Amino acid sequence: MRSHVHSKMLVVLVVPILALVPISASARDGKPEAGPTAENAMAAEEELARAFRNNDADAISNLLDSSWAVITANGDVAEGPSIFPEGIKIGYRTLKTFDMSEPRVRLYGNVALITIKLDLAGVFGGKPFDVLERETDTWVWKDGGWKCVLTHESFVKHS
């Protein structure tokens, strides 16, 4: 009986210790624990690029802040995170290529600025396009993750 009680106590002691192992591992791997860094801002940028490349409307929405806006390469201002996702859902905008290069990353506390060169091709409003852009995404660290609050695009022109 006594030995049985000892066994039970051992289980009671060992189980919580074992439980700490996965918690500690997940804290080490989990990016939110790290706070805002240039590395996890760039990871968010790459995730957004992947979502665009895959025409994944929901994944794009997840990374955009409710205050998000885009300055298009034509100089127009469009407000609201649903612009691109809705364009994809109704088949108005379908990307074939979304390749980024030459990243410039700057961190200012809870805000990251990421400027990239963008090779972009697809169909927009029934017309094919293939352009080169320079784009700056402004990211804000909120509730343990990055949200994009502004995308500013420009065409790259060779003179």
Partner 1 sequence: MKLSIRHRMAALVVVSLLVAPLVISKVAKSAQAADGPTAENVMAAEEDLARAMRENDPDGIARWLSDDWAVISGKGGVGEGKSIFPDGIRQSYLTRKTFEISEPRVRLYGNVALVTTKVNTSGMFGGKPFDVVERQTDVWVWKDGGWKCVLTHETLEK
Residues that bind partner 1 (CB under 8 A): 67, 69, 71-77, 102, 104, 106, 108-111, 113, 115, 117, 132-134, 136, 138, 140, 149-150, 152-159
Q: Which is nearer to partner 1, 2 or 157 (CB)?
A: 157
Q: Which is nearer to partner 1, 55 or 148 (CB)?
A: 148
Q: Which is nearer to partner 1, 71 or 95 (CB)?
A: 71
Residue 148 token pair: 């994009």
Query: Could you give the strand order of the β-sheet that contains 77-79, starting from the edge strand earlier in sequence?
Result: 77-79, 64-71, 145-155, 127-142, 111-124, 93-108
Q: Which is nearer to partner 1, 61 or 115 (CB)?
A: 115
CA distance 91 to 108: 37
CA distance 60 to 68: 12
Work out how close the CB of 112 gets to partner 1 at its nearest, in angstroms, rounded to a whole number: 10
Work out how close the CB of 101 gets to partner 1 at its nearest, in angstroms, rounded to a whole number: 12
Q: Which is nearer to partner 1, 57 or 132 (CB)?
A: 132
Work out how close the CB of 157 gets to partner 1 at its nearest, in angstroms, rounded to a whole number: 4
Residues near 45 by Cβ (< 8 Å), separated by ≥ 6?
Answer: 100, 103, 114, 116, 137, 139
CA distance 150 to 94: 21
Work out how close the CB of 77 gets to partner 1 at its nearest, in angstroms, rounded to a whole number: 7
CA distance 77 to 98: 21
Work out how close the CB of 61 gets to partner 1 at its nearest, in angstroms, rounded to a whole number: 19
